[in-house]
A and B are shown apart, each in its own frame.
Chain A
Amino acid sequence: MALTIVSQIFPREMIPAVLPLIEDKLQHSKEIIRRKAVQALYKFYLIAPNQVQHIHDKFQKALCDRDVGVMAASLHIYLQMAKENAAGYKDLTGSFVTILKQVVGGKLPIDFNYHSVPAPWLQIQLLRILGLLGKDDPRTSELMYDVLDESLRRAEINHNITYAILFECVQTIYAIHPKSELLEKAAKCIGKFVLSSKINLKYLGLKALTYVIQQDPNLALQHQMTIIECLDHPDPIIKRETLELLYRITNGQNVIVIVQKMLDYLKQSKEEYTIISLVGKIAELAEKYAPDNEWFIQTMNAVFSVGGDVAYPDIPNNFLRLLAEGFDDGKEDEQLRLYAVQSYLALLEEEDAFYPQKFLQVMSWVLGEYSSLVTDVDPEIILTRLHRLLKKTFVTSETKAWIMAAVTKIASRTSCSKTVDKLIQEFSTSLDTCMRQYAFELKHLCEDKVLMRSLLPFDASCNDIVVDASLSFLDGFVAEGLGHGAAPYKPHHQRQEEKLSQEKALNFEPYGLSFASSMSPSGFAGRQSPTGLSFGSDTSGNSAETGHKETNSLKLDGVKKLWGKEGYLPKKENRTGKEGEPLTVPCSSSLLAGHVADPPVSHSDQVASLSEEEKEKQQLASTLFVGLGSNAGVSLMGKGDMATQKFRRKSKINETQNYEEASDIQNSTASSLVPLLDTLPSSKEGHERDEHTRLRKASLCSSDTWEDNSALGKPQSLKKPELDNKLSDSRLSSSSLFADSNIEIFHPSPSAQCESASKTLLTPSLPGELAELPHSEVVELCQSDDLALHLCKVWTNDSLLLIMFVSNKNTSALNAVNLMFEKAEHFQILESPAYHFAVIEAQSVEHCQQCVQMDKICTQGILSGSINYQSEMETRLEFSVILSLLDFIRPMEMTTEDFGKLWLSLSNDVKQNLKMSSSQDSFSAALNTLQQKLKLHIVDIIGNEGILACQLLPSVPCLLHCRIHAGMLALWFRSPCSALPDSLLYQCQKVMEES
């Protein structure tokens, strides 16, 4: 009972407190308790998915529970999780299929039968999960075909519940990767449904058909007649569903009939919700497929007159924009507008007709704008009609403002009008300030016709219309904005601005000017703003600026691209050269670079002198800086980034300079390498430059690349032993750097690498400078007959690098290999998500690297992508990479005082008690496991309390305070990000349980 209550009324904040208790209950001997516990956890999952992340494997246990009830309860959780992340549970497809098979096969206790159908709701649940898992995934779908077929067959008894199952089957079949046999059967099922005389079944059939029609429109043709019958069905619900179906199959040819049907239904329906959705759909269809102007205007009229006031505001807006902007053909536009004006005039002729406000607004706008297109009607008549509208009581003040704007526009085109004079008189004394304001404006304008014309320029030429449209839009909204001007929440300066603009409006001249400058682009933006005028001119200023900026950045882009292309080739050449000897100089040099340059100034200097191709290396170097630069890690990193940006702009100059200097530097290479270890700063730079020249050369005379490389490589490799000896010291310290933070480092042993190199060419290994960094083992992601894809994660201090190795297993070269990452919810790939290899030589390995960041926090996520290449035909392989939170966690070094300050400034905290296992009885041992496994940094240990810190890349800190108390480890996390503590807590629990 307590568990039931927990699951029903529990607030989010209290979950951590009871979570362990409920977890215990998962092992309870009674089935019902276990089931209730699972249900409670499901509820928790719905409330706060992050907090129950660590018990996912326990759900799995529940899924395999002896008791069917417990298993069924766990399905709810899986359904929910599969909805959010189908890719993560593909491996469970097998178990779901087996369960479904057992259920369908009647292996469950007889208790679960309902009208001799075994556990129907369970089946439905399972089918749904399968549908989610198998979506667009041929391999997973493969597993399901049999069981789906089986369920279809078993569900052939005539009973409502079997229909429900069939319906679910059909949905699943159409959701997963299609198989023709099953599709046929499903289509037959749908036919049975639709043709059934039972009304509920018919409904179900229509629903299924609506769903299916998106994949297979032909099916609708088969059931044409039935659909037509359903349209005239007495039951409005059936009609509604049929319309929904028609909406999906609308095209240019049938739009008139379908929209007519929808309008008929619309006129009959009274419920607001239906009207809103239907109006939206009709407007969409009318805009998309309208066969001619007349029809379009009439349809829109009908839509507005029925659903005008409840519809979404963007429907009239879209309509007006369509009128104002027009299509490509000027003549057609005119006709459209002409027709609109005529139809509205006709509508307004009726004395007592009632129209929704929105419709009136649309009408008045169109009349004001385009009424002069109609030559045979005296503007006076239009004015009288508008005037009559103004006097009506049901017209709101907002609409009145629209009408007044229209009157002003029309008045500007007529010489003198009695109606206008009358209008001015009437409304100059109006109680409504907004109306009074408008009347005065109109009065002033009328006194000076010349100004009025210049202010409201209207000659019916199409070119001017767009400009004019923006003007009149703003015009109406200025009035409105002024009307709302007294809104209390507006900042003072904005109000003043508004006042200014108001004065401007009365002064006329600046008014016209500001509009002239705002033109069409800002016009539509301006119309959204309540402070119409001032905003309009602002945007125009801004847009000019942004435009300017854009051209700037465009230029830069061009430069960058050029660089990318150039830098691309040599980089690869360089790599292949290096791969033969994994521990060559470049890597040590970048390590050295890291060690040497303490002052950030020299750092940025160095960065500037590097070329684009060297950027990644330099990134590595800068990561080492960070490590050395101690606690100011984040800010240093920021500087590094800035430096690279600056550098990009300079790069072009560098290019030419470097080329000129190339020969000099080449000469100095040998000499600069000798004193490398004594005068580190200069040698580093020299070396870097040497590399740079090499690359530059390579790109400039690509045919000579190899000679160049080998020629230049020689002096280096000659120095290599010497270097290696002396470097061993520095390398030791570099590894001690990491030992400090206790990241597991896979040191590549030279001998092992030699072995592997001799064994097979195709085993990918990390290039030297990366091999020095902590990295994971190389794992295979996918492979085909032609190529294999391997992955290695490299944890640098400021990023996670994914090194992708593409090995060509063929005896011939592969062309045009493209590596693409898909957009993932949780992760973001810096730079571009695609990588292109022009050629991969036979039996060789190429690699590329991607820097990944975690956008949204999760304990584990999947980054998927694909690789395609050209052999005999275009082939595509898919792969996915599992990234865990720990890949993005780095130790954060700080002093105890800093910790204290930061601690107080952070708000999100999570507390949890963990049991300590016997192996980690001492407090420091426990902390050490945390430090090693989670890459936390121990800031301080005082007695039985300890504080640790880490950061989620790029710079979200998380602080941990632990205290040991009676065999329990009390963890207390704080972080600026709310999800991070939860996820880290989960990792802690996992680690502590493992050890």
Chain B
Amino acid sequence: MIKFFLMVNKQGQTRLSRYYEHMEIRKRTMLEAEVIKNCLSRSKDQCSFIEYKDFKLVYRQYAALFVVVGINETENEMAVYELIHNFVEVLDKYFSRVDCSHNVSSDNEEWNLIPAAQECTVKFTSIVFI
């Protein structure tokens, strides 16, 4: 089960977030801050899976952008790892060259983007987001 999906830049600003389980807004910001701190503290040659509290984080870095997915015990880390890549590929295709070094999208676009991206992820692979 995927718990949440985050896109965060190196400065620690959340660019996009999507929660699949209810969580209070205040807690979200706290969680996001901690998650990005965790990810930033790791070097390239370290493993891209982190245990965090009672769930796991799977992250992938694209230039200055981190994509972080929170999953629970039952999920296959590697599959999620690849899913992130797939997601980014799809973004790339749809928005013709997403500039990874910059912000993915403005706030407005943010909310439209995820469903759209979901659609195409689904189209190309299978549904992992529900």
Residues of A whose CB lies within 8 Å of any CB of B are 4, 7, 35, 39, 42-43, 68-69, 72-73, 76, 111-112, 114, 119-122, 124-125, 160-161, 163-165, 167-168, 199-200, 202-204, 207, 234-235, 237-238, 240, 273-274
Q: Which of B86-130 contact A (CB under 8 A)?
A: 86, 115, 122-128, 130
A240-B47 Cα distance, complex, nearest whole Å: 12
Q: Nearest Cβ distance between residue A119 and chain B, in whole angstroms?
A: 5
Nearest 10 A/B pairs, CB to CB: A164-B78, A164-B79, A122-B126, A121-B126, A161-B82, A235-B46, A199-B47, A72-B126, A273-B53, A203-B47
The interface residues of chain A lying within 8 Å CB-to-CB of B54 are 273
Q: Does B49 contact A (CB under 8 A)?
A: yes
Give a binary string over B9-40; 1 marks a CB under 8 Å from any A CB, 0 the rest. 00000000000000000000000000000000
B-chain residues with CB within 8 Å of residue A164 when the two chains form the complex: 76-79, 81-82
Residues of A close to B81: CB separation below 8 A = 160, 164, 200
Smallest CB-CB separation from A160: which chain B residue? B82
- The answer to whether B51 touches A168 (Cβ under 8 A) is no
Residues of B close to A76: CB separation below 8 A: 127, 130
Specify which chain B residues have a CB less than 8 angstroms from the CB of A68 in the assembled complex.
126
CB-based nearest A residue for B20:
A8
Shortest B22–chain A CB gap in Å is 10
Closest chain B residue, CB of each to CB of A9: B22
Of the candidates A120, A168, A235, A273, which one forms a contact with B125 in the assembled complex, judged by CB atoms under 8 Å apart? A120
Cα-based distance from A4 to B116 in the complex (angstroms): 12
Residue in chain A with minimal CB distance to B78: A164
Are A237 and B82 also in contact (CB < 8 A) when A43-B130, A125-B126 are? no
A617 to chain B, nearest CB (A): 51
**Contacting pair B127 A39 (CB below 8 A):** yes
Q: How far is the CA of A207 from the CA of B76 in the complex (A)?
A: 10
Subset of 11 A-B contacts with CB under 8 Å: A35-B127, A76-B127, A121-B126, A121-B127, A122-B125, A160-B85, A200-B49, A202-B47, A234-B46, A237-B46, A273-B52
Cα separation A120 to B125 with both chains bound (whole Å): 7
Contact A238 B47 (CB under 8 A): yes
A200 CB → nearest B CB, Å:
6
A237's partner among B47, B83, B115, B127 (CB-CB below 8 A) is B47
Q: Across the interface, which residues of A come within 8 angstroms of B51, CB to CB? A: 237, 240, 274
Alpha-carbon gap, A235 to B128, bound state (A)? 29
**Nearest-CB residue, chain B, relative to A274:** B51
User: Which positions 31-79 of chain B face chain A at CB distance < 8 Å?
Assistant: 45-54, 76-79
Instruction: Tell me the bound Cα distance from A165 to B78 in angstroms.
Output: 9
A826 to B77, CA, bound (A): 34
A202 and B48 CA atoms in complex are apart in Å by: 11
Bound complex: CA of A273 vs CA of B57, how far in Å?
A: 14
Within the complex, what minimum Cβ distance (angstroms) separates A83 from chain B? 9
- Complex partner residue of B79 from A168, A238, A273, A274, CB under 8 angstroms: A168
Contact A161 B79 (CB under 8 A): yes
List residues of chain A with CB within 8 A of the CB of B49: 200, 203, 237
Tell me whether B126 and A163 are in contact (CB under 8 A).
no
Shortest C-beta distance, A35 to chain B (Å), equals 8
Chain A residues with Cβ below 8 Å from B127 are 35, 39, 69, 72-73, 76, 121
The verdict on A39 contacting B124 (CB below 8 Å), with A114-B82, A237-B47 known, is no
Contact A112 B124 (CB under 8 A): yes
A39-B127, A111-B123, A200-B78 given; 17 more Cβ-contact pairs under 8 Å: A35-B127, A42-B130, A68-B126, A69-B126, A69-B127, A73-B130, A114-B86, A120-B125, A122-B126, A164-B79, A203-B47, A203-B77, A204-B78, A234-B46, A235-B46, A237-B49, A274-B51
- A120 surroundings in chain B (CB, below 8 A): 79, 82, 125-126
Contacts of A122 in B (CB 8 A): 125-126
Q: Are A124 and B46 in contact (CB under 8 A)?
A: no
Query: Could you say which of A69, A121, A200 contacts B47, with CB atoms under 8 Å apart?
Result: A200
Asked if residues B115 and A4 are in contact (CB atoms below 8 Å), the reply is: yes
With CB as the reference atom, state the residue of chain A lying closest to B82.
A161
**Shortest Cβ distance from B80 into A: residue:** A164
Q: Are B125 and A121 in contact (CB under 8 A)?
A: yes
Contact between A121 and B130, CB atoms less than 8 A apart:
no
Closest to A77 in B: B130
A783 → chain B closest CB, angstroms: 38
State in angstroms the CA–CA spacing of A238 and B51 once bound together: 10
Among B52, B83, B115, B130, point to the contact of A39 (Cβ < 8 A).
Answer: B130
Chain B residues with Cβ under 8 A from A73's Cβ?
A: 127, 130
A119, B126: Cβ atoms closer than 8 Å = yes
Point out the residues of chain A lying under 8 angstroms from B126, CB to CB: 68-69, 72, 112, 119-122, 125
Give which listed residue, A72, A119, A168, contacts B76 with CB less than 8 A: A168
User: How far is B76's CA from A7's CA once the two chains are assembled, in angstroms?
Assistant: 24
Which residues of the other chain, B, contact A114 by a CB distance below 8 angstroms? 82, 86, 124-125
Whether A119 lies near B125 (C-beta < 8 A) is yes
Closest to B48 in A: A200
Measured CA separation A237–B46 after assembly (Å):
9
Q: Which residues of B contact A235 (CB under 8 A)?
A: 46-47
Measured in the bound complex, the distance between the Cα atoms of B76 and A167 in whole Å is 8
Distance from B76 Cβ to chain A, minimum over Cβ atoms (Å) = 5
Determine the distance from Cα of A68 to Cα of B124 in the docked complex, in whole angstroms. 11
Residue of B nearest to A1 (CB): B115
Q: How far is the CA of A167 from the CA of B115 in the complex (A)?
A: 29
> Which chain A positions have C-beta within 8 A of B86?
114
Contacts of A161 in B (CB 8 A): 78-79, 82
B78 with A163: CB separation less than 8 A: yes
Q: Can you name the residue of chain A whose Cβ is closest to the Cβ of B56? A: A237
The interface centre, meaning the residue of B49, B78, B130 with most chain A CB atoms within 10 A of its CB, is: B78
**In the complex, what's the smallest C-beta–C-beta distance from B21 to chain A, in angstroms?**
11
**B76 contacts which chain A residues (CB < 8 A)?**
124, 164, 167-168
Once the chains are docked, how many angstroms separate the CA of A125 from the CA of B52? 24
B115 neighbours in A (Cβ, 8 Å): 4
> In whole Å, how far is A144's beta carbon from the nearest beta carbon of chain B?
18
Q: Closest approach, in angstroms, between the C-beta of B81 and any C-beta of chain A? A: 6
Report Cα–Cα, A4/B130, bound state, in Å: 9
Residue of B47, B81, B122 ringed by the most chain A CB atoms within 10 A: B47
- Complex Cα gap A167–B77 (Å): 10
Give chain A residues whose Cβ lies under 8 Å from the Cβ of B85. Answer: 160
Q: Known contacts A237-B46, A273-B54; is A204 also within 8 Å of B77 by CB?
A: yes
What's the Cα separation between A590 and B128 when bound, in Å?
62
CA separation between A120 and B81, bound complex, in Å? 12
In Å, the complex CA distance between A72 and B129 comes to 12
A160 proximity list for chain B (CB < 8 A): 78, 81-82, 85
Residues of A within 8 A of B83 (CB): 121
Q: Which of B51, B79, B85, B126 has the most CB of A within 10 A?
A: B126
Min CB–CB distance B118 → chain A (angstroms): 9
Partner of A199, one of B45, B79, B122: B45
Return A941 CB to nearest CB of chain B, in Å.
Answer: 45
Task: Tell me, rounded to whole Å, the shortest Cβ–Cβ distance linking A228 to chain B.
Answer: 18
Partner among A42, A199, A274 whose Cβ is within 8 Å of the Cβ of B46: A199
Q: Which residues of A contact B78 (CB under 8 A)?
A: 160-161, 163-164, 167, 200, 204
> What residues of B have a CB within 8 angstroms of the CB of A42 in the complex?
130
Q: B125 — which chain A residues lie within 8 A by C-beta?
A: 112, 114, 119-122
- CA gap between A213 and B49 in the complex, in Å: 21
Give Cα A519 to B78, complex, Å. 57
Nearest Cβ on chain A to B111's Cβ, whole angstroms = 12
Q: Which residues of A contact B50 (CB under 8 A)?
A: 237
What distance in Å separates the Cβ of B89 from its nearest Cβ neighbour in chain A?
A: 9
For residue B48, which residues in chain A have a CB less than 8 angstroms away from its CB?
199-200
Query: Which residue from B45, B47, B52, B79 sits with its C-beta under 8 Å from A124?
Result: B79
Q: From residue A752, how far is it (CB to closest CB) to chain B in Å?
A: 54
Nearest CB of chain A from residue B51's CB, rounded to whole Å: 6
How far is the CB of A873 from the nearest CB of chain B, in Å?
A: 40
Residues of chain A within 8 A of B77, CB atoms compared: 164, 200, 203-204, 207
| Cα–Cα distance between A202 and B51 once the two chains are bound (Å) | 15
- CB proximity of B127 to chain A, nearest CB, Å: 6
Nearest A-chain residue to B45, judged by Cβ: A199
Q: Note all chain A residues with C-beta closer than 8 A to B46.
A: 199, 234-235, 237
